[in-house]
């Protein structure tokens, strides 16, 4: 079954055999979206969130953290009826703006040739707030903040909180992120095994401030990259005029940057032009936390009809394809489709969801890792650029048969595993054509199977791109 064509247009009658209460642990992107879907099916849901209500408390300590939103994330937002609100807080990015030190005119590498082939910068907090409002507006979702769950006991069907309180559950949805307690409880029952493969690179977020008049210092309509070979800086615009900047670098590099002098020296040597844009760069660097990066591999996403994982708790990935949240929304949509398809047997719904989705999240996990190399060094590598140019040219000539991998991931709704397979076949053709210019590359591309249609809900004009 494809998740594309199974979404219920309206509410269904809840099945009385689903054990109550229905709880979701985690009110992040996945949990909030899932609660809307369950409420739409007519279920009453309680959602527990360890952090305070981000609509009332500044949980990012004044910093704006943003994410790239693309087609796979946009479709569920359309389905949830919140796209107009999301539109008001997004900034379109048409391509990668590549900054090379000493070159005053950065190079824009457009993401695609079609006007709608843009991604959108969106504040993590503001998007989450829209989803929480929509969840509460259903009248069926009750959210408890500052409610940290320390364990999920499947023997007694009890949630255990950090203050010792316990609450019963009938079904628990684990939307509690990469360090999921629901998943830990499932493992205790033998329902799953998991492992995080940590990258030997970390990240740190910084802020590139607005001009004094509130305008952006650099073009807001691009994802800025300062490639550095083994490390890189990226920047995504915020509506307030500032940019969220992220440094990705080897742990060994971070280990050397422990004093203000070392930090100043690093940025002056590696990113001199960038340094002039952020007057308090060293202070920010010393103050802001450094985070790890890893890929979570989970075998077993559900425990009969009592528990299922969704979002990062099932498939946390490294952020280099900007797909973690997009994938989380897409997973919720697929789970929703399977709940609709098997309303009287959630064990079957959960099992079918997991079986269909796992190959796809494995595929995006691998592609996200590969994209790191592309971003930090490929974007200035003549071989990479020649291949990309040929892919875009072939796409123009054979739009029904070929689309560059980045575009299949970001601007289509084909399963990730299919995008990965197609990308492999396309890469082989392009590599052969570059090695042997006499090859009839058009004939080879014409033999590729036709690209699948977009999800019927996907609307290229759903978000403003002006």
Ligand X SMILES: Cc1cc2nc3c(=O)[nH]c(=O)nc-3n(C[C@H](O)[C@H](O)[C@H](O)COP(=O)(O)OP(=O)(O)OC[C@H]3O[C@@H](n4cnc5c(N)ncnc54)[C@H](O)[C@@H]3O)c2cc1C
Instruction: Give the binding site for ligand X (CB under 6 A).
Output: 25-31, 48-51, 67-68, 148-149, 175-177, 181, 203, 246, 311-312, 319, 322-326, 328
Nearer to ligand X, 3 or 430 (CB): 3
In sign, the C-alpha dihedral spanning 369, 374, 376, 381 is positive
- Strands 119-123 and 90-93 come out as antiparallel
Nearer to ligand X, 369 or 425 (CB): 369
Q: How many residues does the chain have?
A: 466
Q: Which two tokens stand for residue 426?
A: 């396309």
From CA 333, how far away is CA 346, in angstroms rounded? 15
Nearer to ligand X, 257 or 318 (CB): 318
Q: How far is the CB of 293 from ligand X (least distance, A)?
A: 7
Q: How far is the CB of 319 from ligand X (least distance, A)?
A: 3
CB of 192 closer than 8 Å to CB of 301: yes
From CA 172, how far away is CA 244, in angstroms rounded? 34
> Which residues on neighbouring strands pair with residue 173, listed in sequence order?
24, 308
How is the beta sheet containing 223-227 ordered, strand by strand? Answer: 107-110, 95-98, 223-227, 232-237, 243-250, 193-208, 290-299
Nearer to ligand X, 228 or 390 (CB): 228
Q: Which two tokens stand for residue 64?
A: 């704006």
Q: How far is the CB of 426 from ligand X (least distance, A)?
A: 24
Nearer to ligand X, 257 or 327 (CB): 327
Helix (H, G, I), strand (E, B) or coil at 359: helix
Q: How far is the CB of 354 from ligand X (least distance, A)?
A: 15
Nearer to ligand X, 25 or 278 (CB): 25
In this structure, what is the dihedral angle of CA atoms 85, 86, 89, 92, given to the nearest 10 degrees?
-140
Q: How far is the CB of 261 from ligand X (least distance, A)?
A: 27
Q: How far is the CB of 65 from ligand X (least distance, A)?
A: 8
Nearer to ligand X, 181 or 201 (CB): 181
Q: How far is the CB of 397 from ligand X (least distance, A)?
A: 31
């Amino acid at each position: 079954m494809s998740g594309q064509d199974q979404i219920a247009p309206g509410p269904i009658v809840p099945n009385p055999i689903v054990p109550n209460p229905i709880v979701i642990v985690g009110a992040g992107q996945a949990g909030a979206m899932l609660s809307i879907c369950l409420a739409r099916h007519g279920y009453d849901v309680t959602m527990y969130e360890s952090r305070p209500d981000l609509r009332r408390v500044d949980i990012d300590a004044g910093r704006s953290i943003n994410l790239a939103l693309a087609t796979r994330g946009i479709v569920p937002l359309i389905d949830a009826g919140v796209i107009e609100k999301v539109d008001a807080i997004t900034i379109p990015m048409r391509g990668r703006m590549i900054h090379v030190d000493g070159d005053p005119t950065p190079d824009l590498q457009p993401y695609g040739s079609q006007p709608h082939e843009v991604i959108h910068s969106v504040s993590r907090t503001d998007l989450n707030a829209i989803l929480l409002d929509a969840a509460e507006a259903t009248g069926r979702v009750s959210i408890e903040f500052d409610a940290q769950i320390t364990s999920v006991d499947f023997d007694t069907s009890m949630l255990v909180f950090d203050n010792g309180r316990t609450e019963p559950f009938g079904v628990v949805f684990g939307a509690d992120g990469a360090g999921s307690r629901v998943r830990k409880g499932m493992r205790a029952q033998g329902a799953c095994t998991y492992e995080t493969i940590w990258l030997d690179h970390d990240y740190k977020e910084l802020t590139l401030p607005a001009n004094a008049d509130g305008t952006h210092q650099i073009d807001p309509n691009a994802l800025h990259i300062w490639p550095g070979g083994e490390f890189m800086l990226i920047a995504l615009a915020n509506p307030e005029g500032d940019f969220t900047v992220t440094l990705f670098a080897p742990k060994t590099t971070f280990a050397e940057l422990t004093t203000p002098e070392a930090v100043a020296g690093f940025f002056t040597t590696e990113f001199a032009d960038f340094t002039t844009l952020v007057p308090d760069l060293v202070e920010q660097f010393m103050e802001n936390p450094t985070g790890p990066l890893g890929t979570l591999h989970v075998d077993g996403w559900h425990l009969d009809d009592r528990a299922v994982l969704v979002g990062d708790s099932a498939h946390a990935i490294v952020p280099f394809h900007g797909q973690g949240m997009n994938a989380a929304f897409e997973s919720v949509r697929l789970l929703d489709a399977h709940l609709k398809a098997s309303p009287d047997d959630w064990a079957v719904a959960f099992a079918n969801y997991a079986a269909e989705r796992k190959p796809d999240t494995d595929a995006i996990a691998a592609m996200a890792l590969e994209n790191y190399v592309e971003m930090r060094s490929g974007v200035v590598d003549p071989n990479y650029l020649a291949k990309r140019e040929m892919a875009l040219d072939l796409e123009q000539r054979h739009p029904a048969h070929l689309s560059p991998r980045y575009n299949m991931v970001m601007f289509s709704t084909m399963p990730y595993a299919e995008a990965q397979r197609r990308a492999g076949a396309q890469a082989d053709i392009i590599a052969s054509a570059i090695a042997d210019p006499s090859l009839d590359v058009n004939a080879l591309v014409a033999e590729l199977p036709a690209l699948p249609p977009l999800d019927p809900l996907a609307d290229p004009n759903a978000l403003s791109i002006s």
